[in-house]
Chains A and B, each alone.
Chain A
Amino acid sequence: MNSLAATLPQGTGSGYVAAAYIVFFAIVLIYVAIMAIRLSRVERDVRELHARAGQPPQQPPQPAARPGDVGEPQLAEQPQLGARPRRQDETHGQTPEPHTPVRERETV
């Protein structure tokens, strides 16, 4: 900031004015950039969901998707099966509900 202010004409204070407005727009832009990164993450998740929606659902509590939704075959070709067996473990294994919050009791 110092160097920025120094490069601009001092007498009128225009350097400071420019710096202030630049700071303002820079921070708003940084915010927008962060939101863009987050948006791309959301997009990736939606794609993943979309790809999975094409597969016949394992244990659908609700209808998973309409059959017409299969689009994006290049993504659907590689179904992330990693999550499926884990789900089976969850429902039929020793511990039906591994995520149950023991925490809840402790923290209350």
Chain B
Amino acid sequence: MPIGRGLRTLSISTVAAMGVALGLVFFYAPIEAEEGFLQKIFYLHVPLAIVSLCGFVLGGLMAIAHLRTRDQRWDLRSYVTIHMSLILGVVVLLTGAIWARGSWGHWWVWSEPTLVSFLIVMLLYATYQPLRFAIEDPERQARYASVFAITAGAFVPMNFLAVRLSSSYLHPRVLGSSSNLPPPMALTFGVSLGAMALLFATLCSYELAAKRTRILLKSSSRILGYR
């Protein structure tokens, strides 16, 4: 089990990518015509949301791998991925609220289906950890958590579909699509997305290394007869 291998490369590239992304956001990307400077939140909020949602789905895929192989390491990976997506998800909700406040004067708007969907997804995943802690047998805990992760992972797209259908009118501004951005903005967005993905990967492998270390420590204590 290589602990922390590649963590250094990952960390350095994350810091570099973050620096480049921030530089592009504040010094390269043009000020958006309608929203002005406020639109800079877009480069933070949307990539984070995408990364976080991908993390949730990825956690579900890892859970499938866990159930298929019965390899506990997949469960650990799934756990860490979902854990990290939850943390970034909190940022997504907060930045979304700030953006909504700046843009519409309200901290929360129900007319923004992406944000609403995200809230529902977060409410669901908020029960992931309580579910784990409520099961004592470690093996069953892993299995039940995987069942949850798979179900919830499939729920993410399903939920987005339903919520989007339910928003009766088209919201005034595109808060999720980057399709018709002018090239400088698209570039900035892409770099931001890459930086956020790298950040996510770094934090995940950081957490994973920490978890593995603690597991190793525990089992070393046991082997040496101290516990």
Instruction: Show the binding face of A for B, using Cβ within 8 Å.
Output: 1, 5, 12-17, 19-21, 23-24, 27-28, 31, 35, 38-39, 42, 45-46, 49, 52-53, 57-62, 64-65, 83, 87, 101, 103-104, 107
Instruction: Say yes or no: A24 contacts B44, CB within 8 Å.
Output: yes
Chain B min CB distance to A39 (Å): 7
Chain B interface size band reads 35 or more
Instruction: Say yes or no: B137 contacts A24, CB within 8 Å.
Output: no
Instruction: Say yes or no: B41 contacts A20, CB within 8 Å.
Output: yes
Q: Does B102 contact A (CB under 8 A)?
A: yes
The chain A residue sitting closest to B48, CB to CB, is: A24
User: Can you show 6 pairs from A to B with CB atoms below 8 A apart?
Assistant: A15-B102, A20-B94, A21-B44, A23-B95, A42-B210, A64-B225
C-alpha spacing A27/B193, complex, angstroms? 18
Interface of B is mostly: helix
Instruction: Show the binding face of B for A, using Cβ within 8 Å.
Output: 35-38, 40-41, 44-45, 48, 87, 90-91, 94-95, 98-99, 101-102, 136-137, 140, 199, 203, 206-207, 210, 213-214, 217, 220-221, 223-227
Other-chain residue from A15, A61, A107 in contact with B223 (beta carbon distance below 8 A):
A61
Instruction: Say yes or no: B37 contacts A49, CB within 8 Å.
Output: no
Other-chain residue from B91, B220, B223 in contact with A23 (beta carbon distance below 8 A):
B91
Other-chain residue from B36, B45, B207, B224 in contact with A60 (beta carbon distance below 8 A):
B224
C-alpha spacing A23/B40, complex, angstroms? 14
Given contacts A13-B102, A62-B224, 19 further A-B contacts (CB under 8 A): A1-B98, A5-B98, A5-B102, A12-B37, A12-B38, A13-B37, A15-B102, A20-B95, A23-B95, A28-B203, A45-B217, A49-B217, A49-B221, A52-B224, A60-B224, A60-B225, A61-B223, A64-B224, A107-B137
Chain B min CB distance to A57 (Å): 6
Chain A min CB distance to B57 (Å): 21
Instruction: Say yes or no: B102 contacts A42, CB within 8 Å.
Output: no
Chain B min CB distance to A107 (Å): 6
Chain A min CB distance to B175 (Å): 13
Other-chain residue from B36, B210, B227 in contact with A39 (beta carbon distance below 8 A):
B210
